Amino acid sequence: MLQTIRSKKQGDTPDAVHVEYVLREFVGQEQGNAASTFVEDETQLAHVVVFQSAQMKRLYQAFPDVVLADTTHGTNANQYKLFSFVVTDFFGKGQYVQHALVKAETEDNLRLAIKCFQSNNPSWNKVKVFVTEKDFHEKAVLAEAFPGTRQLLCTFQVVTWLEKQVALARHYEEMGDLKDAMEAYEDAGTHQKDIPRMLITLGKIDLLQKYVSTSNNRDLLIWWAQFQESQGQLYGIYFAQGQIEGGNISARVVFK
């Protein structure tokens, strides 16, 4: 269907007219197919194009509980975004249950796509959980349209992003760019392990002490007290003790 929309344009036919022709053809192919297009009157520019096959409807009816909101950028020469709903079938495989081409990922455009989904699927209120990508910024629109549903981040997307952040941090570290390396390790959530390792390896103990003292991270301060004790640095131990709220844990470390 997407390929058809991309390829069937001929001559000087306006995009909106071409898209409407393709969608009418799609709807006529099988009973239950549904499609809508939303065109700006002044420019005749299609802002939202939504389509759902009869098979997609059946898949949603069979597996309505958990829906993934998936976005893909740059799907054609005009840089439309593809906004799709996906369910997981009996075999654990993702299945698309609606596609929407949107000119821009705005709240209004996503609302139109969601309204089409709700109009074409009377059981839309059976959705219990939406899974979204890290870069999906319009979570409020889903919450507004599907009140009471939970929203979870896609684990695969999060893990992939974190792995990329760690790789980026390693690259900065190899290049000697400590500031960017530290920021990337912070973003990846591996800072408590990797920043001390990096700075100790480079002999940047003063920088490490500054980082620890400004982090307001209790676990990191406890580690610093233990590290200073292993180095025989009593001043460092008492410094860490003074930074930890209450001082009880660092005292236990010092006088064990």
| Domains and their CATH numbers in the chain | 2-153 (no CATH), 157-254 (1.25.40)
User: Alpha carbon 32 to chain centroid distance?
Assistant: 32
Name the residue type at position 188: A
Number of Cα atoms under 13 Å in the Cβ half of residue 165: 17
Determine the Cα–Cα distance for residues 155 and 138; give it in Å rounded to an integer: 18
pLDDT at residue 79 in the model: 75
pLDDT at residue 80 in the model: 85
Distances (CA, A) of 131 to 52, 84, 93, 96, 162: 20, 12, 15, 14, 18
Q: Which residues have CB under 8 Å from 144's CB, separation 6+?
A: none
| pLDDT mean values, one per 10 residues, the chain (256 residues) | 46 64 89 91 86 96 92 68 91 91 90 96 94 78 92 69 83 93 88 90 88 79 76 57 48 36
- Grouping H, G, I as helix, E, B as strand and the rest as coil, residue 130 is strand
What pairs with residue 103 in β-bridges? none
pLDDT at residue 217 in the model: 77
pLDDT at residue 235 in the model: 52
pLDDT at residue 187 in the model: 84
Question: Which pTM was predicted?
Answer: 0.58
pLDDT at residue 72 in the model: 79
pLDDT at residue 155 in the model: 65
Sheet holding 66-72, edge to edge: 34-40, 45-52, 94-102, 81-88, 66-72, 129-132, 150-153
pLDDT at residue 9 in the model: 43
pLDDT at residue 41 in the model: 80
Strands 150-153 and 129-132: parallel
The number of helix segments (H) and strand segments (E) in the chain equals: 12, 7
Determine the Cα–Cα distance for residues 79 and 174; give it in Å rounded to an integer: 36
